[in-house]
A and B are shown apart, each in its own frame.
Chain A
Amino acid sequence: MPALLSLGTILLPWMGAVFIWILGDKRHKLVGPVAVVFSTLAALSALYLYPFATSDIVVNLSMGDAFGYLTFRPDGLAVLLTAIATVIGCLAVIFSLDYMRGEHQLPRYYSFILLFIGAMSGLVLTSSLLYLFFFWEITALSSYALISFNNDDPKAVRGGIKALIMTQVGGAGLLAGALAMNSAIGNFEIDRILANPAAIPAGLLAFAAFGFLVAAGAKSAQFPFQTWLPDAMEAPTPISALIHAATMVNAGVYLLARFYPAFAEVPGWKLAVVTVGVVTAFTAALMAITAGDIKRVLAYSTVSQLGYMVYAIGLGAVEAAQFHLLSHAIFKALLFLSAGAVIHSVGTRDILRMGGLGKKMPFIRLAFVIGAMALAGIPVLNGFWSKELILEAGKETGPEWGYFLMLAGAGLTALYTLRLTWMVFYGKPREDLQVHHAGKAMKVALIPLAVGSIFSWLLVTTVTRVSANTMPYHTMVETNIPSLVREVALSPGTWIALAVILLSIGIWMVSHRMRFFEKALSWASRPIKASFGMESINDAIIRVVESAGERLQLSQTGLLSWNLLYVLIALILACIYLAVGA
C-alpha cells in the first residue's frame, strides 16, 4: 500500500500532465478541471500515505549499473513535504482556474504544474541520491518553464533563464557531493550514508557537505544566490505561490535537513549553515522593507524565512525547521494567492499605487491579514509557534550574534509585513484603481490556507510522532500540544521576541504617518535595493562570458589558410606534448 501511494503522488500528476498535453489547445476548457482532478487525487494519495509512513524502503527498482536503484522511502520528513507539495499544488491549480482564465497555451501551463508536483513528491520520497538529483533537475525545468510561461515578455524569459542557470550551477554542487560519496561507498542509498557517515573519508565527506550547502543555497535562494527569486516573480502568481514559496525553494532546506546527521560532525559545516541562514534572513528582511512591488516583498520575505529554517538546521533543531517549513508553506501560499487576487483585480503589482483596497475587497483583506499575522509571528497563529521554537533553539545552542540578528530579523519581519498590509489595504487610496472581484475558485483556494494558518500548529503531535518513529538517524522527539504550549509560552525567549515584534509595530504606527520612516531608510535603500552588490556580480559574470564568446568568434575567420594554420599549430603542439609527456 505505501508503495502504491508513494508512486501515486508522482505518477498521478505526471499522467495528468501527459493527458492534458494530449487534450491540447482544442479542448482547452477541459484542461483546468482535468488538472484539478489529477492534483486532488495526488493530494489525497499523499495525505492517505501518512498512516503508512515507514522507515523501510517501499519501492526498489534496479535501473542499471551506473544508476543504482530507484528507491522510495516515505518517512516522516518525506510524507510531510509531499503532503505540502500536493495539497498546496492542488489549491494553486484551483486558484489558477480563475486567475488564468482566458490565457493562451493553458495546456502547457497545467502540464508543467502537474509535472512539477510529481517531481517535487519524487524528490522528497526517493532514497537514492541519483534520483534525488533527477527530480531536483525536473523541478528546475518546470520552474523555468513556468516562470517564462509568458514567453512574449522579455522580463519573464530573462527571469526564467536566470533561475534555471543559477539553480543549475548550485545543482553542480549536489552532483559533485553525490558522486563523491558514491565513489567512497559504491552506491547512492541515502540511508546507508546516514547510518554510517564514518565510512566516507573525511575529505570527501566535507567536500560533499559543502557541495550540498551550495546546492541548497542556490535552490532556496540563500545568500549569495538570492538574486534569482525576486526576478522569478514574473511568473503567474499561482506559480509564485506554489513553486517559489511553498515547495521548490524548500528543496534546499529539505536537502540539508535530510543529510544533517551525516554532515553534523564535519568541522565548520554547522557554523557555515548558521552563518548562511543568519545573513540571508537579515539581509532579505532589509530588502523586503524597501521593495515596492507586492510580490517582491513576499519574495524577499520567503528568502528571509528560509534563512530561519536553514539557521535552525545549522543549530541541529531539525524538528523546528520542519515545523516552520509547514507553517511557512501554508501562510506564504496564502499571502501569495491573496496578493494574486489583488493583482488580478487591480491590474498592477506596485504597492505605491495601491491603498485602501480593504474596503473594496474585504474577503481578500481578511485572508491577507491572517497570513500577515502568521508571518509576523503573532500568537496564536502557526507562524508564532514555529518561529519561537527556532528562536529558542538559537538562544540555547547557537552563537550569540546569530541569536541577536535573528531576533532583530523577527522585528524587521513584523515591520515589513505591517508596511505591506497597510500600504495595500488600509489608509487612503493613492490611485483610483478599478477593482474586479475575486472569482469563486480563488476564494475556494484561499479558505483552507487561511484555516491552516490559524490551526496548523495543532498538527504538531502527528508530525513529530511520525518523524520520531520513522527517522532513526535524526534525533526527533515527539511533542504534543500541551508540551508545545508550555515550552513556548513559558520561555523567556518568547517574551523577548514578542517584545521586539511589538516594538516594531509601534515604530511603524508612529513613524509612517510622519513619513519619517521612508526618509530614514532612503540613504540605506540603494545598496539594499541592489541586493548588496550581488546583482552586479551576476551582471559581471554574464558580461564576461558573452564577451569571451564574442572574442572567440574572431578565431572562426572563414579563411581556409587560417584553418590550415590551426592544423599545423595543433600538429606541432601534439608532437611537443608526446615528446615531453611520453
Chain B
Amino acid sequence: MPLNYFIMLLILPLAFSPVIYLVGRAIGGKKKKNTGPNISRWLLLGVISWCLYTLIRLYPISLADEKVRATWGTVSFQFDGISLVLIASALILGLLSTWFSGRYLAGEVGEEKYYALFSILIGSILCLVCAADLFTLWLCFEMMAVSTYTLVAFHRQNAAALEAGVKYLVQSALGSVLVILGIALVFGERGSLSLETLKAIGTQTPGLLAAGGLILVGFGIKAAIVPLHTWLPDAHSQAPSGMSAMLSGVVIAAGLTAMLRALSALGVPPAVWGCAFLALGSINMLVGNLLALRQVEVKRMLAYSSISHIGYLLIGLGFALYQGVNYGAEGTFFHLITHAIMKGLAFLTAGAFLFVLLPHDGFHGSLKIKDLQGAANKYPLAALTFSIAILALGGLPPLAGFMSKWVIFTAGFITNDGWMIAAAIFMALNSVLSLAYYAPVVNRLYQKECSDLVKAGNKIPAGLSLPLVLLAVFTVMIGLYPAILQPIYQLAGKNLLALFF
C-alpha cells in the first residue's frame, strides 16, 4: 500500500538515528583509530537504501499524479512532485556523501554522532518537503536546522568551524523566530494551519502580507538569499566535505521549498512573489559571482558559487510565478537536481583532495586553489571529476548545467516581456562571468609543475573515488540526454504551478 511506504519513508531515518548512535558507540568505540569506517555508517547506508526503495515504490503513483496523504489529527503530510524531486536528491546525494564520509571521517572523535545526526538531517528533510501544514513545516525545518548546526561545527577543535557553526546558529535561529511570527500571524488571521484549507480561502489581508514578508526573510536566511547569505561561506567551507555537499546541494534547496510551500498558502497574487524573486535572483547571481572571483580557498569559492546558483533557481521561480510559465517551474526543479549533483561532486572532490593533501587528525586545514597546482599529474581521476563538476556549474555543454540553465532561459524568452528577457540575458552573462573563476581552477589542476602539497600527497582511497565517478557519470549523462529526468521535473513544475495558481 502506498501509504505504508510513505509512512516508512517519513519515519525510518528519524527512528533509526538513536539506534545508529548507540550501535556505533557500543561496537565502534571498541575499535582502534583509523581502521576503516565505523559500523554506524553501514547502518545509515542501510537506512538510506531502504528509503530509496520506498521512494521507488512511490514513484509510479506520483507520476500518475495521485497524491499520497498521511494525517494524524492536524499534522498532515503529502507526497507530490516537489517532494519527489527533493527526496530523490536528498537520498541519492545522502547515500553518496555517507559512503564518502566513511573513509573521510574514519577514526575521528564522535564519528557515530555524525551518522546519527546525518540520519536526523535526512529524516527531517524528507518530512519537511512533504509537510502539508504550517506547524509540521516549521517543526521539521527546525529539526533540520538543529541537526545542521552540529554537523557544521563537527570539527569542534577547529576554531574556524566552531565560529562558523555559532554564526550559522544565531542567524538561523533569527530566521526561525521570524518564521514562527509569520505562522502565528497566519493562524491569527485564518484560524487554520493546513496548507490546503488556507489555499482554499485565498483572500489577501494586510496581516497575511506581513506574514509573507516575515516568512520570505525567515526562510530566506536558510535559502541563502542575498543579503541574508552571510552565514553560508563560513558554514559550507568549514563543514566536513560530505556535509558541505549535502548543505549546498539539498539543505538550501529544502529551505527554498519550505518557503514556497508557506508562501503559497497566503492568498497573495503569485506575480508579487515572482517579481520579488526575479529581483532577488538577479542580485544573488551577481553578488555570488563577484564575491567568488576573489576567493583563494577552494571550498569558499564553491560556497559563493552556491549563492549564485540559488540566484538561478530564484530567476526560474520568478518566471514561473510572474506569468505562470511552466518551463520556469520545470527549469527550477531541473536545475535543483543538477546543481545538487554538480555541487555535490565539486565538494566531494574537494574533500578528497583535502583528505590526501592536508594533514588531518581531527583537524582539517583549508585547501587553497594554489595547492591544487598540477594535481592532475598525480590524481588524474579526481582532477577530471573536479573539472567536470566546475565546468558543468559554469554551464558548458555537454554537461548537465547547460541543459538545466537552457530550460530556465527558454522560460524567460517565452514570456515575450522585455524585463523577463533582460533577466534571462543577465543570467546568461552571469553564467559567463562564473567561468572567470571556474576556468582558472581547471587550468591550475592541469599544470605540469606540482605544488609541494601535491608532491607529498598520498593516494586517494577507492572508497572516496567511487561517489566521484558516479556523480561525474550522472553529470555527463544528463548533459547528453536531459530527457531522462524530464518526467520528474515536469511533474514538480506542474505541482508548483498548481500550488500558486
Contact = CB atoms under 8 A, between A and B. Distances in A.
Interface of A: 24-25, 62-67, 104-105, 108, 130, 134-135, 137-138, 140-141, 144, 148, 151-152, 157, 160-161, 164-165, 168-169, 171-172, 175-176, 179-180, 182-183, 204, 545-546, 548-550, 552-553, 555-558, 560, 562-564, 566-567, 569-571, 574-575, 577-579, 581-582
Given A66-B327, A176-B421, A582-B209, A567 B221 contact: yes
B374 to A, nearest CB: 9
Nearest to B272: A582
Contacts of A105: 376, 446, 448
B413 A176 contact: yes
A104 B407 contact: no
A549 B294 CA distance: 7
B267 to A, nearest CB: 10
Contacts of A582: 204, 209, 268-269, 272
Contacts of A135: 397
B95 interface: no
A557 B231 CA distance: 11
Nearest to A184: B416
Given A24-B380, A64-B483, A566-B230, 14 more contacts: A138-B397, A141-B397, A148-B443, A152-B448, A161-B443, A168-B432, A179-B410, A204-B416, A549-B291, A549-B293, A574-B276, A575-B210, A575-B213, A579-B206
B414 interface: yes
A552 B230 contact: no
Interface residues of B, number: 78
A144 B228 contact: no
A66 to B, nearest CB: 4
A564 B482 contact: no
B403 A564 contact: no
Contacts of B167: 560, 563
Given A66-B407, A105-B446, A151-B446, A549 B290 contact: yes
**Dominant secondary structure at the A interface:** helix
B49 to A, nearest CB: 29
Contact of B410 (A104, A148, A182, A555): A182
Interface in B208-226: 209-210, 212-214, 216-217, 220-221, 225
B396 interface: yes
A359 B420 CA distance: 64
Contacts, number: 178
A303 B374 CA distance: 35
Nearest to A157: B443
Interface in B431-460: 431-433, 435-436, 439-440, 443-444, 446-449
A183 B178 contact: no
Contacts of A144: 439
Interface of B: 166-167, 170-171, 174-175, 178, 204, 206, 209-210, 212-214, 216-217, 220-221, 225, 227-228, 230-231, 233-234, 268-269, 272, 275-276, 287, 290-291, 293-294, 327, 330-331, 376, 380, 391, 396-398, 402-403, 406-407, 409-410, 412-416, 421, 424-425, 428-429, 431-433, 435-436, 439-440, 443-444, 446-449, 481-483, 486, 490
B436 A62 contact: no
B174 A564 contact: yes
B439 A581 contact: no
A553 B330 CA distance: 34
Nearest to B330: A66
A117 to B, nearest CB: 15
Given A549-B291, A578-B210, A169 B398 contact: no
Given A63-B482, A67-B403, A169-B432, A548 B228 contact: no
A563 B227 CA distance: 8
Of B212, B406, B407, B444, most buried by chain A (CB within 10 Å of CB) is B406
Contacts of A545: 290, 293, 433, 436
B439 A578 contact: no
A574 B230 contact: no
A182 to B, nearest CB: 7
Given A578-B210, A578-B212, A172 B294 contact: no
B436 A552 contact: no
A180 B421 contact: yes
Given A64-B483, A172-B428, A571 B213 contact: yes
Contacts of B210: 575, 578
A9 to B, nearest CB: 17
Nearest to A63: B483
B213 A151 contact: no
Nearest to B399: A141
Contact of B287 (A62, A66, A134, A552): A552
B217 A571 contact: yes
Which 8 A-B residue pairs are closest in the complex by CB-CB distance?
A64-B483, A179-B413, A566-B227, A563-B230, A574-B213, A151-B447, A168-B432, A549-B290
A28 to B, nearest CB: 13
A392 to B, nearest CB: 40
A130 B217 contact: no
Contact of A571 (B178, B230, B376): B178
Given A574-B216, A574-B217, A556 B291 contact: yes
A574 B216 CA distance: 8
Contact of B230 (A65, A169, A546, A556): A556
Given A24-B380, A67-B483, A151-B446, A548 B428 contact: no
Contacts of A168: 431-432, 435
